[in-house]
Each structure stands twice: as C-alpha cells, then as structure tokens.
Amino acid sequence: MQGIELSEQYYLSYGVKMIEEKFPEFKNRIAAGLVGEGSECYGFDDDVSQDHDWGPGFCLWLNEDDYRTIGQQLELEYEKLPGTFKGYNRLLSRWGSGRVGVHGIGEFYRRGIGVSDVPDTLEKWLNLPEEFLSKCTNGKVFFDSFGEFTKIRNKLMEFYPEDVRLVKIAGKCMTCAQSGQYNFMRSVRRKQYFPALYAQTQFCSDIISMVFLLNRHYTPFYKWKHMAVASLPILGRFLFENIDFLIASDDYKKKESIIEDRCAQVIKELYNQGISDSKSDFLLDHGPVVHSKICDVALKQRDVWLG
C-alpha cells in the first residue's frame, strides 16, 4: 500500500470519528489531507521509503482564528490516535516532525513557500523556488468543506503568471545550451571528465525543469524530477526515457546526439507555444527571443541569464 492511500484510510478510520466526537462544531471547518514533503506525497514511495517518516498519519488544516481556538487541543487528540494501522507504524526521524498533524493554514504555506497566501506581485512569484511550490501543491486533500486551504492551493496550482514563466523558460534556454550543447563535448575533447560529467548532469536537470515549465507544472525536489517528468503530456515520457539512455551510455558521440535531439524537441515546442520564432538549432539563441515576449517592464529589463 502506498502512503497516500494509507493516510486517507487512516483518516477515514480514525480522524473523522475523532473530529466528530471531540470537535463537532468545527467538523466542517477542518481540512484534511496529505500534502508536503516525502515521496508518498508524490506517489513515488516504495519499500525503501518506509524506513523513516512514513506510515499512518495525515494533515489537519485550520484557519488562523480556529487554530488559536482549538489548535493545541486538536493536536493533543491527534497524538492519541493509534500509532499502528494495517500493520504499518509511522517511524519519525530527527528531521521529520511537522510533516503530519495540525497546522494553521497560513503557517503551513509560510513554512512551505515563505508566504502565507498566494503571492501578490510578479517579483514575489519569481523568488519562490519551484520545489517549494511543488511540495505545497502535491498530495491529496481528503476533505475541505470550508474551502480556505483549497482556495490557496488551487490558485498556486494555476502555475506562475505568464511573464514569470517566460523569464524562467528564457533562462533555461541559456543554461541548457551552455551545459549540454556547448560545454559537454568541449570538456570531452579536452579529456576533462569531471566538468563533462558535471555539464551532463546540469543539462539533464535543466532540460527536465524546462519541460516542467512548458507543461505548466512545478518542478519537484531533485530526487523526484526524473520520475515526475514521465507523467507530463508534453515531451514528458519522451524525455524520461532519453535521459536514461543519456546517463547509461558510455558513447560520447551518442550522448551528444541525444542532447541535440532533446534540444531540438524543446525548440519545436517553443514554436508550438508561440514564444520563439528563431530558426537557430542552438537553444541559447532562443533565450533572448523568449525573453522579448515578456510584457512587464521590470522583468523585461532583467538579464536573460537570471531566469
């Protein structure tokens, strides 16, 4: 059983009853689910995942007024719930506290992305790391009749404002070209294998991030980037399989060919989305073109490399 299914069944078996019996007047004001850090929130957990911070548990979210009123009491009742469910125990590591249990909605988002609500300026959006946004929009909400938690979540899931997305895509055009199309084979020809390996890894990371941006999905923490990209409709499965080929191959010319093919596919998608019309096969040349599509004056004045 995967963690998110275990969590939901645990909530339905124990959480619902606890809330109805102990906090009946708040039962339609408490949101429940499993969102945040951990492979189980992405559905990527396996047997190895069960050695720490995995097992029966769920999150309960309250607005700030309700949290002040019942937050501590609700947490005490939550802690009384059985520690074992369907044969599974939750093993808490030194760094695993706060992943489940009771949270104020604003504080949950503040811990996750640094602000308690949806960012209200383009600059704030730009400064939010994608992996933070990913972990606040993953998982599953089991119940939210009141809707305050889900309202913020849904706005975040609409993705970056378009100008911010363009800033980031333009920047990835530059770094993908620099590491993959330029520095990788130059390092190989010089027999400098550390920078060659570094450039290959950087390219893989950045081209995956690029595909997330093209799909309007937040890139998760590096451990899950490769697995997560496979489910994306635009170039996702194609990239997932070819990254495997790139990493596994010991043929440098084959690696170079794979890098060029991946860049060509991204360039084709830039055309499809109407954000580049450059005829160059060098992804770097597309960065300034994408950047020129930005409408906001301040963002347009940024160096294209800073995306």
Q: What is the pLDDT, as a whole number, of residue 189?
A: 96
pTM score, whole prediction: 0.94
Q: What is the pLDDT, as a whole number, of residue 91?
A: 75
Phi, psi of 120 (to 5 degrees): -110, 5
- The parts of the chain modelled with pLDDT lower than 70 are 93-96
122-156 pLDDT, tens digit each: 999 999 999 999 999 999 999 999 999 999 999 99
Q: What is the pLDDT, as a whole number, of residue 46?
A: 86
Q: What is the pLDDT, as a whole number, of residue 224?
A: 94
Domains contained in the chain, CATH given: 3-157 (no CATH), 162-306 (1.20.120)
Q: What is the pLDDT, as a whole number, of residue 94?
A: 64
Q: What is the pLDDT, as a whole number, of residue 51?
A: 77
Q: What is the pLDDT, as a whole number, of residue 96?
A: 60
Q: What is the pLDDT, as a whole number, of residue 95?
A: 64
